[in-house]
């Protein structure tokens, strides 16, 4: 069931209309002033990858160019960026590796 947004030509308020059928084009009515002169507008939307899709993320040379492989802090920071790219969801093993790296000596 799609949601459509409309802007009232009279008061310029934006209203959202839930449409119960793809084919039924119901007349929108302004919730603020009750006007019927409404223009459908482009709605904002967001997209979030699933955790499984995020596993297909592969770092490129640009994202790895600032890593100092001899610095535990640099590697931990990089792993933090990977976690963020994966939507904040990682495995317990990943978190354990981060703890080991961050608690180790940093030259």
User: How far apart (Å, rounded) are the C-alpha atoms in residues 42 and 53?
Assistant: 27
Radius of gyration over alpha carbons of the chain, in Å?
24
Q: What is the three-class DSSP state of 43?
A: coil
Confidence check: pLDDT of 18 > 60: yes
Q: Over the stretch 46-104, which tens digit does the pLDDT of each residue have?
A: 666 666 665 666 666 666 677 887 888 888 888 888 888 777 778 888 888 888 888 87
Those residues with Cβ within 8 angstroms of residue 76's Cβ, 6 or more apart along the chain or in another chain:
98, 101, 102
User: What is the average per-residue pLDDT within 8-35?
Assistant: 81
pTM (two decimals) = 0.40
Specify which residues 3 forms β-bridges with.
18
Q: What phi and psi values does residue 103 have, to the nearest 5 degrees?
A: -90, -10
107: confidence class by pLDDT, cuts 50, 70, 90: very low
């Amino acid at each position: 069931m799609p949601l459509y947004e409309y802007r009232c030509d009279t008061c310029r308020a934006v209203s959202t209309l839930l449409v119960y059928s793809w084919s039924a084009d119901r007349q929108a009515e302004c919730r603020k002033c009750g006007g019927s002169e409404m223009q459908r507008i482009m709605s904002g939307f967001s997209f979030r990858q699933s955790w499984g899709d995020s596993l297909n993320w592969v770092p490129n040379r640009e994202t790895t160019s600032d890593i100092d492989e001899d610095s535990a802090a640099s590697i931990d920071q990089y792993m933090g960026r990977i976690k963020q790219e994966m939507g904040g969801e990682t495995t317990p093993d990943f978190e354990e590796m981060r703890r080991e790296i961050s608690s180790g000596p940093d030259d």
